[in-house]
A and B are shown apart, each in its own frame.
Chain A
Amino acid sequence: MAGPELASTVRLMLNGAPVELVVDNRTTLLDLLRDRLDLTGTKKGCDHGQCGACTVLLDGRRVNSCLQLAVAVAGREVTTVEGLADDEPHPMQAAFVAHDAFQCGYCTPGQICSAIGMLDELAASWPSAVSTGPVRLDDAEIRERMAGNICRCGAYPHIVAAIREVAGGD
């Protein structure tokens, strides 16, 4: 085991429940979820913030969990794809199934977390690179705001449709 200064005790809220464990300071939030907590819904596509497959909600905001050190998110609230559904799937999850908004499914948990975080950003009237004037939801806005989640299968039009349905744009 690493010396005490090279490892840390981390407590955080994970999908609504407290978690406490000792981590190698090098461990990313992504690897903590996948390798230590068996929450493998969050995927590792690139490990460098270049694909979005590892997107989770950190204090409600979407971030790339591969670039967050586990030790640095101590005390914060993390929601992963496993924490979105209660008895029923989250409306975004149901919409992704209904619109066939994925093929291989590997980027999908990240897409869904990102879409949920994105709609909150929209509700807060955050602008995007394609916004002109007051922020409102249209396909161009969804495409730009979801550009940080790569889908190599190319399900983008169906992802846009699923998000539009959940946002009430249909």
Chain B
Amino acid sequence: MTRFWQAAPSVGHPLTRIEGLDKVTGRARYAGDVAVPGLAYGAVVPATIPRGRVLNLDVEATLAMPGVLAVVHRDNAPRLTDIGEGTLFLFQGDRVAHWGAPVALVVADTPERAREAAERMRVDYFPEPPDTVFRADHPGLYEPEYVNPRNPTVTGKGDVDAALAGAAVVVDAEYRTPAQHNNAMEPHSATAVRSDGRITLHTSTQYAYGVVPTLSKLFGFAPGTLRVLSEHVGGGFGNKGMPPRPDTVLAVMAATLVGRPVRVTLTRPQLWPLTGYRTPTAQRIRLGADQDGRLVALEHRAALQTSRLHEFTEQAAVYSRPMYGAENMRTSHRVVALDVPTPRWMRAPGEAPGSFALESAMDELAEACGVDPVELRLRNEPAVDPTTGQAFSSRRLADCLRVGASRFGWAGRDPRPAVRRDGRWWRGTGVAGAHYPARAAPTTAHATALPDGSFVVRVAASDIGTGARTVLTQLAADALEVPVDQVRVLIGDSGFGPAMGAGGSMGTASWSWPVVTACRELAGRLAAGEPLPPDGLTSTFDSTAAIGARADYARYAFGAHFAEVAVDVTTGEVRVPRLTGVYAVGRVVNPLTARSQSIGGMTMGLSTALLEESSMDGRFGDWVNHNLADYHVATNADVGEIDVTYVDDPDDELNPSGVKGLGEIGIVGVAAAIANAAWHATGVRQRELPITPARAAR
């Protein structure tokens, strides 16, 4: 049953994870698991005001507590260079930018002592009145220069208002999504070990290479000083990407001050203010269509929040730019800077909340026109990217919708809401489209042939659960034309050179580009009879120029989600017994790990739809439900049958391995499909997430 290796060609085979046995036996060491002699432990002292200044820290009393080795704070911390990243500019002054921001770090010889001393530390503040609550009509909303990662803030063509005025059918609705926290199972952890003027940092990061230049600039380290290792990463979902999170800076500072290795592991509640989150959104969609549901106008406006430390604007309205065709279109973003922690990437930033708005509005349009929601989407398929006019490298949305409808059993669906009562449940079904950009970023990889006939591939990739180590092994083996058990892929080491992180669904596309190219080149050199030195023969490839030379296309993965929803007639409890996801994601390297990625994305979408909401108490500037008992993520009992399939999506305009990435598209549109199904079940439109019992049926 267990498939540990597969003869070439390996791509397309369900190879089990290379590190699978290590993970199921507990041998796999994550950042906080690495054994280090002489380790000391750092515990964060968090600010307990949302805005103001630190007046006094009772350092002396803390130092007198048992086992305390040092207190790192504004008066003794290393001076940092301001690199424009306020979340990392720690202990450089007395300002408090948000509740939970570190005001000191207590270092002690045991974790129990560090934590107790940190909790007991007395801090006096000068509080100032905070502005912490996001509102769609906040007077501070403004149009930023660009939205994440570097998208235009506003796009438009035609005259949306005129088209809406003349449209036979208009949908105009506002959709709201709450703040959400990524909550990977492994909390952020960093262990800094200094030796001979160099620092090794074991940390839980999606971007091992990227940590190095950021921290080096911040601390003024010479090149070669810092090495980052992240062999196993316990999930990320955007939460362990760039920039590095404060635990890394704190560990390096503390190790410098106490002259011992120091580990800083954040507690679960500390993840809320310190590691990023998905902004709450308020989105207004205006759709105009003819009687048959053909769009004449599409407008998507998004209001979002950021912090005063750093401007991060989630690209929620970007979802509407390539999705459905209309002659008149406008998308725009406004953001407000509040006295709150800084929002960051969370799985499909932009597309996840944006698709909830647009795909819900499309369902309302289908209702208003009396057109089936699948058919409505098929009628609005654009020939080219409707915003940029670019050709699509491939666009298989229609295939996804048709295949999904067939697998789900959509045909013959009664469009009327609230007519299916089954015992204690109202039942309904819903659909949503999905897309996610297919990108790649410059990366360097090395392939080495060893005299024993085996191969080693090195690339500073991260496997945060995506299966990266496994699929890169398969791709490398096929490029070398050898079985996978002759190839070892080493990742998670910044010393392997520049590499994209595990983010933006770009990992496999970015890493495999130089891996496959270097492996092919190496195979060619060996075939040409080049001699093999005792320490091996190495080919290295940097994909920067090749990526820059690509033709101009709109490159996207597409997908469709179908949901069956049951709503308890008495209580409004919402359950999702069935989800179908169909994706066009280029080449599927490993159907086993791909399926895991897809069901994982859909599960997070389900969790978004029904459960997740970080609850901001504006008086404190704190999300008060900052734990896994009060912030609900889906459990095993919440997830029913999940059907996943992939349609053929050959696309020669991507990268040497033909992959589009599938880490994020699985979440896109799922909340809308569930909300649309909840309406179909009960007749109550769900324009605000999550769909709790309080909202579902009343």
Contacts and interface: CB of A to CB of B under 8 A. Distances in A.
Question: Are chains A and B native binding partners rather than an unrelated pairing?
Answer: yes
A105 B234 contact: yes
A102 B24 contact: yes
Nearest to B4: A97
A100 B639 contact: no
A12 B187 CA distance: 29
A40 B17 contact: no
A103 B636 contact: no
Contacts of B29: 40
A102 B23 contact: yes
A158 B233 CA distance: 20
Nearest to A93: B24
A31 B24 CA distance: 20
A93 B20 CA distance: 9
A107 B3 contact: no
A21 interface: no
Interface in B231-247: 232-237
Contacts of B20: 96-97, 100
Contact of B237 (A95, A106, A152): A152
Interface string A102-124: 11111111001000000000000
Nearest to B600: A154
A98 B1 contact: yes
B627 A46 contact: yes
> Do most interface residues of chain A lie in helix, strand or loop, or is the interface mixed?
loop
Interface string B595-607: 1110111111000
A35 B33 CA distance: 9
Contacts of A160: 636
Contacts of A155: 596, 599-600
A137 interface: no
A39 B635 CA distance: 26
B26 A81 contact: yes
A104 B185 contact: yes
B467 interface: yes
Given A100-B592, A108-B24, A50 B627 contact: yes
A154 B24 contact: no
Contacts of A158: 596, 599
Interface residues on B, range: 35 or more
A104 B639 contact: no
A48 B595 contact: no
A61 B90 CA distance: 45
Given A43-B185, A104-B184, A85 B25 contact: yes
A9 to B, nearest CB: 17
Contacts of A97: 2, 16-17, 20-21, 24
Interface string B617-650: 0000000000111000111110101100000000
Nearest to A36: B110
Given A53-B185, A154-B600, A82 B235 contact: no
Chain A interface residue bracket vs B: 35 or more
B81 interface: no
B616 interface: no
B482 to A, nearest CB: 23
B637 A143 contact: yes
Contacts of A108: 23-24
Nearest to B643: A157
B268 A47 contact: yes
Contacts of A102: 23-24, 465
B119 interface: no
A105 B465 contact: yes
Contacts of A39: 26
B24 A104 contact: no
A88 to B, nearest CB: 11
A146 B596 contact: no
A157 B595 CA distance: 10
B635 A154 contact: no
Contacts of A95: 1
Nearest to B595: A100
A148 B635 CA distance: 7
A102 B30 CA distance: 15
B19 A105 contact: yes
29 contacts: A24-B110, A42-B26, A45-B185, A46-B628, A94-B1, A96-B20, A96-B24, A97-B16, A97-B20, A103-B466, A103-B467, A103-B600, A104-B186, A104-B232, A104-B233, A105-B23, A105-B232, A106-B30, A106-B184, A106-B234, A108-B24, A143-B636, A151-B185, A153-B596, A154-B599, A154-B601, A157-B599, A158-B596, A159-B636
Given A51-B185, A103-B600, 4 more contacts: A40-B35, A81-B26, A82-B25, A94-B2
Interface of B: 1-3, 16-17, 19-30, 32-33, 35, 66, 110-113, 116, 183-187, 232-237, 265, 267-268, 464-467, 592-593, 595-597, 599-604, 627-629, 633-637, 639, 641-642
Interface of A: 2, 24, 26-27, 31, 34-35, 38-48, 50-51, 53, 80-82, 84-85, 89, 93-98, 100, 102-109, 112, 142-144, 146-160, 165
**Lowest 6 A-B CB distances belong to which pairs?**
A41-B26, A154-B603, A106-B234, A104-B465, A103-B465, A105-B23
